[in-house]
Structure 1
Amino acid sequence: MTNVKGLWAFIGALVLLLLAVTWAWYQSSGKLQPAAIVGDVTISEAEYVSALKQKFGKQVLDDLVNREVVFQEAKRLGISADPNQVERELAQIRDSYGSRTDSEFQQALQKQAGTTVDALKREITYQILLQTLATKDISISDDEVLKVYESRAERYTRPMQLRLWQIAVASQKEAEQVQAELKQGANFQTLAKERSIDSRTAAIGGDLGWVSLRDHQLPDEAWNAIEKLKAKENSEPVKVDDNYVIYHLEQSREATQRSFEEVKEELRREIAFAQVESLDTVLERLRKSVGVQISGQMPH
């Protein structure tokens, strides 16, 4: 669960689950509004939903069943997901967006995956519980876990991070004007919205989010100026490509190292997970344990 690309794969399943919610809504509603009108032809919601069900129906239903099976079996066995691990996995996905603000993260999730932070947390919880159920009978010694931890120490290190804002302008003269206004007490974020020409950050007050030292997101000349700053200070104008940029350091986070004791059980589960049979086999076994009956099929 520490692989961000793997976590992104989980989001795809959420999109399919949302389709199932759509079907349920329309089936329970007496309203059959047009889904689209093309020239003189109307495509009804019933046709739209039927096409979705025909194309994705089995996969969506299997996903819904699998999730319910995992949550029920975990509850029966008294197994729960560590809330701290859920938050760490969520933070990894958030960071994959480029350390954006919470608002940006929520908007990006909605736009790109059609989901919410709460739904994503539930998906992460499902994956953790599935991994735990799949590995509960596999024994991995502390010595084996420690060896893997020591070989991957850098994976559990978070470098120092800085919360940065920026104002980018087209000329040195304009940068000096902005700098003078800041020294006179002008609000940095307000000036960023009014004067910055960086399309990605201007509308949000120049917010670059949390950035790690030597992150490739920023050039070396920027870091040379930023490293000298204290919290709440602004940099001198920095020439970046054809523009001039003033940076503001809002706050910083010191580098951290997660200890072996903190990650031991999480890593033990990960090592064990590499030894399990296929997930299809695991899920089929869980289905039989809980009991599943699909409409038109025999219970299994």
Structure 2
Amino acid sequence: MRRTKRLYSPVVLLALIWVLMGETGCTAGQPGNDTVATVGDVKITRQELVDQLLANSGAQTLRTLMLRIAVDKEAAAAGIAVTDEEVEQELERLSEGYGGLENYFSAMREQLGLTRDEVRKDALYRLKLERIATMSVNVTDEEIDRYLKEHAEDFGPKTELQLSHIVTENRDDAEKVLKKLEDGGDFAELAQEFSVDGWTASQGGDLGWMEIGDPFVDQAVVDAVSELEVGQIAGPIETEAGYEIVMLTGRKDTPAMGREAARQEARRRLALDRAEPMAELEQALLDKYGAEIRDPELKL
């Protein structure tokens, strides 16, 4: 399961600033003084909003835009092209652990404020950067064979489970909650009322998605829910947290990766391990294409 602190990424801020400046025909540096919000009789203008966005995150947002241009130039010069199909495959890879692509898009929207289009653009950028980083790295067939053998579990079939739980301090309390569930009680409402896990209680007990074998999930819980049907409940289960009642709310079974796809992924991992660190490559590309920030207030 994955949780990400909610924040606004440079990608989101860049899009927002463009929208703000683009409406009503505003030009760069002159967003306009039309009112975008009011609080009582106090007005907030478009100019004030853009100024605040630029002051808070303008430097990082500008760097993101410059990097995209530099990477596009280098990819074009090197003859690197990324297809829509490759972007979709990358998104599928990134969505592992989220229970599917739709859940991944929802998580990126809720946690980072990214739209689907922004997620795709970011995936495209990362793929181009990886291709640039690894285009001169040589990986032999023997190395790929060895990697596949040593990491066989990464390429085999996977099962992802979405769980919710209610944690109580003792078995008696757990049995009382279980009885309420058997009598038709709503799991999410009971989690909010009785669970001592404050982090998940406020979310109706939602634990998110996990893979079978996830080391951060108690093995007793995995054993109890792995054979359940979606909607079924197991427990009470004694764990380090207390006594848990667990409901399976989603399940996704993914078949083993095909031979050629597995070899490509193994090569990718091996090449990235040997490639120049991405942050260093990004700076090198900015230097190569003479990137220069003219406004001193936007320098990092």
Q: Do they superpose with TM above 0.5?
A: yes
User: Where does 1:35-50 land on structure 2 (aligned, <5 Å)?
Assistant: none
Runs of 5+ consecutive residues of structure 2 not aligned to the other structure: 22-28, 36-47, 296-300
What fraction of aligned residue pairs are identical, expressed as a percent?
22
Tell me the amino acid that sits aligned with residue 172 of structure 2.
K
Which 5+ residue runs of structure 1 have no aligned equivalent? 34-43
- Within a 5 Å distance, the mapping from 1:1-300 to structure 2 comes to 15-21=9-15, 24=18, 25=20, 27-31=29-33, 56=60, 59-69=63-73, 78-80=81-83, 82-92=86-96, 94=98, 103-104=106-107, 106-110=109-113, 115-116=114-115, 118-133=117-132, 135-136=134-135, 140=139, 142-157=141-156, 159-227=158-226, 229-241=228-240, 243-254=242-253, 256-272=255-271, 279=281, 283=285
Query: 1:146-203 deviations in whole A, cap 9, x for unaligned?
Result: 3333333233346433222212234433322322232233333343344434322233
Distance 1:156 1:286, change over 3 A: farther
The Cα shift of 1:126 comes to 1.1
CA RMSD between the two structures = 4.7
Distance 1:69 1:215 in 2: 41
1:206 is displaced (CA, Å) by: 1.9
Does the 8 Å contact 2:97/2:160 carry over to 1?
no
Q: Compared with structure 1, are the counterparts of its residues 45 and 255 closer, same or farther at alpha carbon in structure 2 (3 Å cutoff)?
A: closer
Could you say which residue in structure 2 is the equivalent of 1:39? none
After superposition, give the CA deviation of every residue in 1:190-249 in whole Å (9 maximum; x if it has no partner). 433444343222333322222233434333443454356444322232234574321122
2:173 match: secondary structure: helix
State the alpha-carbon separation in 1 of the partners of residues 235 and 57 from structure 2. 59
Residues 237 and 294 of structure 1: CA distance in aligned 2, closer, same or farther (over 3 Å): closer
Displacement of 1:80:
1.8
CA contact (8 A) 2:144 2:263 kept: yes
CA distance in 2: counterparts of 1:251 and 1:50, whole angstroms:
42
Contact 1:165 1:208 in 2 (8 A): yes
Give the SS at the match of 2:198: coil
TM-aligned CA deviation for residue 128 of structure 1: 1.0
**Partner secondary structure for residue 130 of structure 1:** helix
Amino acid at match of 2:31: S
- Cα distance in 2 for residues equivalent to 1:242 and 1:54: 43
- Structure 1 residue identity aligned to 2:87: P
On the 8 A contact 2:167/2:197 being kept in 1, the answer is yes
Does structure 1 retain, via aligned residues, the 8 Å contact 2:192–2:203?
yes
> Which stretch has the larger CA shift, 86-95 or 53-62?
53-62
Paired AA for residue 129 in structure 1: K
Aligned residue for 1:189, secondary structure, equals: helix
Separation in structure 2 between the aligned mates of residue 91 and residue 158 of structure 1, nearest angstrom = 15
Q: Tell me, in whole angstroms, the C-alpha distance in 1 between the residues paired with 2:49 and 2:161.
A: 49
Q: 1:53 to 1:167 in 2, by over 3 A?
A: closer
| Aligned AA (2:32) | G
Aligned partner letter, 2:111 = A
Q: Note closer, same or farther for the CA distance 1:131–1:28 as it changes in structure 2 (3 Å cut).
A: same
Q: State how far apart, in whole Å, the 2-side matches of 1:252 and 1:227 are.
A: 9
Structure 2 Cα separation of the partners of residues 242 and 83 of structure 1: 40
Structure 2 CA distance for partners of 1:236 and 1:59, relative to 1, 3 Å = closer
Residue 127 of structure 1 and its aligned partner are, at CA, apart by: 1.5
